Structure 1
Amino acid sequence: MARIAYIMLCHKDPRAIIRQAERLTAAGDYVSIHFDASAPEQDFDLIRKALTKNASVAFATRRVRCGWGEWSLVQATLNALEAAVSAWPRATHFYMLSGDCMAIKTGEYIHRYLDDNETDFIENFDYFESDWIKTGMKEERLIYRHFFNERARKTLFYASMEMQRRLGLSRKLPDGLQIRIGSQWWCLRRSTVEQVLDFVKSRRDIRRFFKTTWIPDETFFQTIVPHLIPAEEIRNRTLTFLMFTDYGMPVTFYNDHYDMLIGQDFLFARKISPEADDLKRRLSLLYSASGVDFRISDEGPELFSFLTGRGRIGRRFAPRFWETESTLGRERELMIVICKKWHVAKRVLDRMRQVTNVPSVEYLFNEEDTPLPDLGGIQTSLEKRTRHRRALMRMLFDFYETDRMIVCMDPGNIGLLQDFAADRSVTRMLEIDCAFSDEYLIGHAMRVGLAGPQTSQETLTRLLPTIRNDITYESDRIRDAEFDHLNRMRETADIGENSKALADFLSIPQARAWEIAGTDGLFAD
């Protein structure tokens, strides 16, 4: 009978990971966990403490900090695979999962399905001839070397690629490989996994190439497996059911999707909402059941389109979903950097991004030209962003596939701060207290239209105290609001004090926070 080693890549919700591992191992299978090194250390400690006595659970020997679209995701997978292959010689299949996945069939059905299908399941479409990539870069993902994360460091990402294009620094594809692409959620036989690991060790040029491609988790295994395994032993499909909205976002499944999910010709589904408690309860009971017959209808995409078109309360022609307020989600954590000196906040934000790899967005409610992904039009103006602020933030969380995000806001946005603080999500705030010279305040007055080149010195002298008092008033309002999880970082404080505030704000060790607080010129004008 099939014995499955599940390869779980996860970065959040430790209790859900523990429950998932206990459920899967109870059916006689194994779980190898890679928990993102960027996630809070106390979360990993909780997982390890709960599962360390479970002989069917292993942990990747080396944790890496993962970033969407980066080689780090492939490396994390390889680390977890190596741990699983070494720990469980009786494992017959290796199945990729995320922390958002859940089985939509019984364990009995899943084992029987793999026993009846002696094959590898992995999408592997021709990279250049297929239309798997609908929009955006295609050839550029491969022929240029990508050293920066497009989502985290957009300016450097595109500047680097443009420089390579101008200098003619494109590269050839690896000899003997036909590049293929597909979903990163696959199920491979043991013999295939062992061949892949041996191949990667023997062909260091392959590893070097994919380390600097963009989104290699969609091409690495998808290219190597067909290179090593005969086509008749590969099914060009995934066993994990996932869909995408018209906005390019992964579809999230809720309590009312149970009947649809179990009727799909798949073994697992992604992504299950953290708040779908009843769906998770029912799927957990289903997995341990026996003798269940499934009627495969496979109508998922059509049914989903119909349901979302009519709305959740029976309206056939519903307004755009952002027209109704929504919560960010109980499991999510929004971290807000508050600073009147925008250039200082952006400098701090850039260092946070480098140290923690947490997705971040600059002054999205203050600057019209803040770089944002296409979210179906909601991002096109400050007025839309502010009016539909919770929906906007929820879409950004979905876009970056994260439950932790950092944004910048001006101290004058007290209404926005209060609204986010009232959400069911965890809202953390870091107020950056800067010194304001007269020269800076004059420049500020000119930038916001309170003064101009022809404004007299006498007028400026009368204006400066008012501006200074207004800045103080905004800061006082934030403190008077008595927000939970409010930290302060001050220009006049020493590195130790500021690193402590940063560590609490970001939930990271103070040693890593010191890397941010100790940055030269952090408060420079």
Structure 2
Amino acid sequence: MAKIAYILLCHKGPEAIIGQAEMLTAAGDYIAIHFDGRAKPEDFQQIKAALADNPNVTFARKRIKCGWGEWSLVQATLLAVEAAVQAFPRATHFYMLSGDCAAIKSARYAHDFLDAEDVDYIESFDYFDSDWIKTGMKEERLIYRHFFNERKHKWLFDTSFHLQQRFGLKRDIPHDIQVQIGSQWWCLRRRTVEWILDFTRKRRDVMRFFRTTWIPDETFFQTVVRHLVPDSEIRTRTLTFLMFTEYGMPQTFYNDHYDLLLGQDFLFARKISPEAIELKQRLGALYSNDKAEFKISNEGTSLFKFLTGRGRIGRRFASRFWETESTLGRQRELMIVICKKWHVAKRLLEQIRQVTNVPAIEYLFNEEHTDLPDLGGIQTSLGKRTRHRRALMRMLFDYYETDQMIVCMDPSALDLLQDFASDRSTTRMLEVQCVFSDEYLIGHAMRVGLAGEQTSAETLERLLPTIRGDMTFESDKIRDAEFEHHYIINEARDAEENAAPLSNFLDISHDKARQIAQSDHLFAD
């Protein structure tokens, strides 16, 4: 009978991970856990302590700091697979999971399903001939080297790419490899996994190639499996049920999706909302129910398209996405940097990116050309962003697959601050108070059209107190709003004084906060 070793990549929610591991191993299966190296050490220690006495649990020998689109995700997966192969000699199958996945069938059903055919389950479509990639880079993912994280270091990522294009620094794909692409959620037999590990040791050229491709978790295993395993032993599909909205975001499942999920021809589903407590409890009980019977209708994807399609043409039963998704989510944290000097806030954000792994976006409600991903058109103008502010923010959380995000806003946007502060999510604000010299205020007046090159010195002299008073008034209104999590750093204070509010705002150590506060020229004009 099949014995499954689950390969779990996770970065948050220690209690949920412990529960997931206990549920899966209670049925006699195994689990190998890689907990992101960027996550809190105390969370990892909590997981290890809780599962220390469970012989069916093991951990990757090394924790990798993972980043979206990076080789680190593949490296973390390989480390967890190696640990599972060594620790569980009786495991027959290795199933890739994330912390957002949940079983939608019983353990007995899953074992019988895998016993029915001696095959591997992995999406693997020809990289160049298929239409798996809808927009954006395609060939460029492979023929150029990608050294930087596109989301953390956008400028470096783009600059490196454009320089390689300019100087013709293309590279060849290994001649005997036909690159494939597909979902990273696979289930592979033990023999296949052992072949892959052996391949990683022998084919250093292929490993070097994939280390600098972009988003290799969609290509590495898919390519290597197709290279090593006969086509007749591969089923080009995933056993994890997932759907995407018309905006390209993963559809999240809630308590009322229980019956729909059970009817799908899959063993797991992704993504389950952290707030869907009842759904998780019912699915957890189901996994250990050996007598459960399942009627497979497999209508999930077509039903979803039908219902959302009705809403798009104005018919009943399906309101628009931004009308239904009116909250960011109780488990999420939105951190807002408030600063009148935009260049200071951007400089601060760059320092925060160096110290934390939290996605950070600049003045998305103030600057038309703020760098944003394609979210189906909602991001294309300031008017749309502001009008559908919560929907936009929720989509950004989903896009970056995170529960924490930092954005910048101008102090004049009090209505936006109040709106986000009233959400069920946690909203923290860091007000950056700057010293405004006369030279800066004159420049500001010219930038916003209050003055021009021909404006007389006398007029400017009368204008400056009004502008300075307006900026002070904006700060006073924010303070008078009495937001629950409102922290202030001030240009006139030293780094040690500013470190405390920075530490509370970012939930980082005082030393790391002081490192940010001590940044050279942080407040310089």
**What range is the shorter-chain TM-score in?**
over 0.9
Aligned to 1:130: 130
Contact 1:330 1:425 in 2 (8 A): yes
Aligned to 1:463: 463
Aligned to 2:80: 80
Stretch deviating more after TM superposition (510-519 or 434-443) = 510-519
What per-residue deviation string (whole Å, max 9, x for no partner) do you get for residues 382-415 of structure 1? 2221121111101111111221111111111122
Separation (CA, whole Å) in 2 of partners of 1:449 and 1:421:
31
What per-residue deviation string (whole Å, max 9, x for no partner) do you get for residues 338-390 of structure 1? 11110111111122223323222110111111122222222222222112111
Stretch deviating more after TM superposition (209-218 or 292-301) = 292-301
Contact 1:253 1:272 in 2 (8 A): yes
Residue 499 of structure 1 deviates from its aligned partner by: 3.4
Q: Which runs of 5+ in 2 are unaligned?
A: none
Residue 502 of structure 1 deviates from its aligned partner by: 2.6
Aligned to 1:164: 164
Letter in structure 2 aligned against 1:107: A
Distance 1:334 1:46, change over 3 A: farther
Separation (CA, whole Å) in 2 of partners of 1:264 and 1:358:
35
Aligned to 2:308: 308
Asked if residue 356 in structure 1 is aligned to residue 345 in structure 2, the reply is no
Residue 310 of structure 1 deviates from its aligned partner by: 4.7
Contact 1:66 1:357 in 2 (8 A): no
Aligned to 1:195: 195
What per-residue deviation string (whole Å, max 9, x for no partner) do you get for residues 7-50 of structure 1? 11112232222221111111111222222223334433433333
Aligned to 2:444: 444
SS of alignment partner, residue 194 of structure 1? helix
Asked if residue 405 in structure 1 is aligned to residue 405 in structure 2, the reply is yes
Q: Map of 1:269-348 to 2, 5 A cutoff?
A: 269-310=269-310, 316=316, 318-324=318-324, 326-348=326-348
Distance 1:511 1:71, change over 3 A: farther
SS of alignment partner, residue 238 of structure 2? coil
SS of alignment partner, residue 232 of structure 1? helix
Aligned to 1:435: 435
Across the aligned residues of Structure 1 and Structure 2, the Cα RMSD in angstroms comes to: 2.0
Aligned to 2:453: 453
Distance 1:34 1:502, change over 3 A: farther
Residue 148 of structure 1 deviates from its aligned partner by: 2.1
SS of alignment partner, residue 519 of structure 2? coil
Residue 319 of structure 1 deviates from its aligned partner by: 4.2
Separation (CA, whole Å) in 1 of partners of 2:52 and 2:467:
58
Residue 325 of structure 1 deviates from its aligned partner by: 5.9
Separation (CA, whole Å) in 2 of partners of 1:486 and 1:65:
30
Q: Which runs of 5+ in 1 are unaligned?
A: none
Asked if residue 117 in structure 1 is aligned to residue 152 in structure 2, the reply is no
Asked if residue 523 in structure 1 is aligned to residue 523 in structure 2, the reply is yes
What per-residue deviation string (whole Å, max 9, x for no partner) do you get for residues 465-488 of structure 1? 222222222222222322223222
Letter in structure 1 aligned against 2:72: S
Distance 1:299 1:2, change over 3 A: same
Distance 1:513 1:102, change over 3 A: same
Distance 1:381 1:223, change over 3 A: same
TM-score of the superposition, structure 1-length normalised? 0.95
What per-residue deviation string (whole Å, max 9, x for no partner) do you get for residues 201-221 of structure 1? 222222221111110000011
Letter in structure 1 aligned against 2:383: E
Letter in structure 2 aligned against 1:276: A
Letter in structure 2 aligned against 1:290: D
SS of alignment partner, residue 459 of structure 2? helix
Q: Map of 1:50-129 to 2, 5 A cutoff?
A: 50-129=50-129
Stretch deviating more after TM superposition (46-55 or 102-111) = 46-55
Separation (CA, whole Å) in 1 of partners of 2:410 and 2:90:
57
TM-score of the superposition, structure 2-length normalised? 0.95
Separation (CA, whole Å) in 1 of partners of 2:466 and 2:502:
31
Asked if residue 32 in structure 1 is aligned to residue 32 in structure 2, the reply is yes
Contact 1:40 1:507 in 2 (8 A): no
Contact 1:12 1:403 in 2 (8 A): no
Separation (CA, whole Å) in 2 of partners of 1:250 and 1:78:
25
Stretch deviating more after TM superposition (353-362 or 327-336) = 353-362
Asked if residue 15 in structure 1 is aligned to residue 31 in structure 2, the reply is no
Aligned to 2:504: 504
Distance 1:496 1:198, change over 3 A: farther
Separation (CA, whole Å) in 2 of partners of 1:178 and 1:378:
37
Residue 83 of structure 1 deviates from its aligned partner by: 2.1
SS of alignment partner, residue 37 of structure 1? coil
Letter in structure 1 aligned against 2:93: H
Aligned to 1:184: 184
Separation (CA, whole Å) in 1 of partners of 2:126 and 2:373:
27
Contact 2:307 2:317 in 1 (8 A): no
Separation (CA, whole Å) in 1 of partners of 2:318 and 2:240:
29
